[in-house]
Amino acid sequence: MNFQPLGSRPDPLLSVRDLTVEFGTKDGQTVHAVSGISFDVAMGETLGLVGESGCGKSTTSRAVMQLPPPTAGSVVFDGRELTSLSSLELRKTRTQLQMIFQDPVSSLNPRRSVEDIIAEPLATWSRGTPKERKAKVYELMEAVGLDGTVVGKRRRREFSGGQCQRISIARALALEPRMLICDEAVSALDVSVQAQILNLLQEMKQRFDLTVIFVAHDLAVVKRVSDRVAVMYLGKICEIAPADLLYAAPRHHYTAALLASIPQPDPTIRPGDVPVLSGEPPSPTDPPTGCRFRTRCPRAEDRCAAEVPELTEHSPGHLVACHFPLESSVAVDVLRRQTDADVLRL
């Protein structure tokens, strides 16, 4: 297994190499949910993970947490290989690596009070006395903008989606983790609430010195919070680049198509300039040979069907898995227009 840093990041807190997750279906087929992906997350960084629904984002996040452990591959967190830890060691390490889920409501136990829910991770590890735990819970609730003395005894049905997500965040922070994986943490919320929760996450990131993996299918949301972005398609990573670069100068055809599908307020971009995604992604039970995007790629050639494109560094920090990546000049062109668009938007 090679452990060269990917994307010229020197000190990764998390290194994922050749992560593969497969599920068996009832009729004996195999779902190739995640197929050999590799990425690094540097200390203090926010890595965005985007892709269409069903491309394996959640599966990746869960495999990193070893919930369940991946079929193959390696996950190194803070120098420890998680896939080979004993179950107790793993449970201990997981406390450093917390997760926030897509459905804010179902991630809270309906029969327990909020106070109890946030204290649960602390109680699991017998951190402090019950009194100290309670103090800590109130502190956390305050940090996420809830008043413990008022709402502490309430159950989840008495909260809105946004409040539930605040509670989840407080719970995830209770053990003072070093890394937070947000799996579509704002997707289920109203736009105005999304902004609040995103701000809260940013604030918590600063305050608790967190390293974050931010999973979403909304490119605009990801752009706002991420330092680097990884784009996934059908269980593979297509492109990883610093956020500005990726949005300004995508080099993978899928990324370009995704970006083109964001509604642009800029009238100078004519439809047809950039290929727009058409059709449905193929089934992960029977992914295309070679490049998985070839069935929808405007540039696909024979080589794309024959050879799997490896994720390689095309320019410093910019990794692309494509045999015929978009030219930098095209990219620069897009960059120019995008900046214009940004200016217009401001």
What is the nearest approach in angstroms of other proteins to the Cβ of residue 301? 42
Contact track, ligand SF4, 248-267, x by CB under 6 A? ----xx--------------
Identify which range of 54-62, 167-175, 218-226, 315-323 contacts ligand ATP by CB under 6 A: 54-62
* CB 82 within 8 Å of CB 248: no
Q: What is the C-alpha separation between 277 and 146, in angstroms, rounded?
A: 42
Identify which range of 32-40, 104-112, 290-298, 338-346 contacts other proteins by CB under 8 A: 104-112
* CB 234 within 8 Å of CB 292: yes
Under rule CB under 8 A, residue 133 binds other proteins:
no
Contact track, other proteins, 45-84, x by CB under 8 A? -----------------x--x-x-----------------
Indicate the burial class of 295 (C-beta count within 10 angstroms; 0-12, 13-18, 19 or more): middle
Under rule CB under 6 A, residue 66 binds ligand ATP:
no
Q: In what order do the strands lie in the sheet with 80-81?
A: 30-42, 12-24, 72-77, 80-81
Q: What is the C-alpha separation between 172 and 158, in angstroms, rounded?
A: 20
Residue type, 19: L
Under rule CB under 5 A, residue 226 binds Mg ion:
no
Distance, C-alpha 73 to centroid of its chain: 18
Instruction: Please identify which residue in 3, 29, 91, 310 interacts with other proteins, judged by CB under 8 A.
Output: 91
What is the nearest approach in angstroms of other proteins to the Cβ of residue 165? 12
What is the nearest approach in angstroms of ligand SF4 to the Cβ of residue 316? 21
Residue 324 binds which one of other proteins, ligand SF4, ligand ATP, none, with CB within 5 to 8 A depending on kind?
A: ligand SF4
Four-CA torsion 106, 110, 116, 121, nearest 10 degrees: -30
Other beta carbons within 10 angstroms of residue 188's beta carbon come to: 18
Under rule CB under 8 A, residue 160 binds other proteins:
no
Q: What is the C-alpha separation between 332 and 346, in angstroms, rounded?
A: 21
Under rule CB under 8 A, residue 105 binds other proteins:
yes
- The 3-state secondary structure of 237-252 reads EEEEEEHHHHHHCCCC
Buried-exposed string 241-261: b where 16+ CB fall within 10 A, e elsewhere = bbbebbbbbbbbbbbbbbbbe
Other beta carbons within 10 angstroms of residue 61's beta carbon come to: 20
Choose between 85 and 304: whose C-beta lies nearer to ligand SF4.
304
Residue 125 binds which one of ligand ATP, ligand SF4, other proteins, none, with CB within 5 to 8 A depending on kind?
A: other proteins
Identify which range of 44-52, 55-63, 243-251, 280-288 contacts Mg ion by CB under 5 A: 55-63
- Please give the residue ranges that form the binding site for ligand SF4 (CB under 6 A): 252-253, 291, 293-294, 297, 299-300, 304, 309, 322-324
- Please give the residue ranges that form the binding site for other proteins (CB under 8 A): 62, 65, 67, 91-92, 94-95, 97-99, 101-103, 105-112, 117, 120-121, 124-125, 156-157, 168, 171-172, 174-175
- Please give the residue ranges that form the binding site for Mg ion (CB under 5 A): 58
- Please give the residue ranges that form the binding site for ligand ATP (CB under 6 A): 23, 31, 33, 51, 53-59, 184, 217, 284
